[in-house]
Homo-oligomer: A and B are copies of this chain.
């Protein structure tokens, strides 16, 4: 028996990563009412910093108690109406769950599957968009099961050229704050993520940012939204109120996690390195890790350097080695690994 090993830079497993003392301290904040002005200001700060982290000027963040999966749910329920078409770019198993989610809400889903360790080719996306009208295209920025990095700067360009009305949705659970995402300049309509990976906050917070174009598409729906908990009809007034530093109620926010997220965002945005330096450092460290792993006999899952994630690494076991050979040795050196994420290469 052997397996695929996935390393994540900060926490050495593909999430949750380790948290700083400041974040854990904030997560132990004494009870605060979610309706208090003090909390509203902190929540407002989180909304503003989230937008800034994605280099956006006017996109609309939603911070809701839930996991990253709730982001897929929000996209599927709010932006695609029953019977509309969705194109899912598949570079690992998180595309399968997105397709499943979209179908649950009534979308007709087509998938373009990249070869294992590769990203979907632009020419294939272009052909698909020319053949059929799609409401949205979804792409996993970094798929945790393959460590493949998709080019989310190039994809919106293809979409804009061939099918300008189609929304570009990036599942960025495993990339926000580890990889650069210029939401505004690159023309991305939705970035969805979660608290527990690059954002360095305990799990339990769904973070989604929607462009004004996406919000417009939502507002111009011809059918009602068929979800309750993830409905933007409920959450839009709430997120707007908190951004305005005042409280509003639909469902109780995860108050302590918001304090923790605030601490982490503050460290990311106002730390000793700029955002640009942060992404560069991730890239440099990632290359060193991958080079060292190759030197001792591992082969990376991503097929080439241009599709290698910088926030995590997925490696095939060296020939002739098994998990029980490798894992105890790595553990002795303080390296924790996670395995078995991508169904098709399970055991390699």
A residues near B (Cβ < 8 Å) are 11, 13, 15-19, 24-25, 27-35, 65-70, 72-73, 76-77, 100-101, 104-105, 194, 196, 202-206, 224-231, 250-257, 338
Contact = CB atoms under 8 A, between A and B. Distances in A.
A202 B67 CA distance: 16
A25 to B, nearest CB: 7
B69 A202 contact: no
A25 B19 CA distance: 14
Contact of A104 (B32, B231, B251, B255): B231
A68 B252 contact: yes
A251 B68 contact: yes
Given A11-B31, A30-B24, A252-B16, A228 B101 contact: yes
B66 A229 contact: yes
B203 A27 contact: no
Given A33-B16, A226-B105, A255 B203 contact: yes
Contacts of A15: 252
Given A226-B105, A227-B227, A252-B194, A66 B69 contact: no
Q: Which 10 A-B pairs have the closest CB atoms?
A: A204-B254, A69-B251, A67-B251, A202-B256, A73-B229, A28-B28, A24-B28, A101-B228, A104-B228, A65-B204
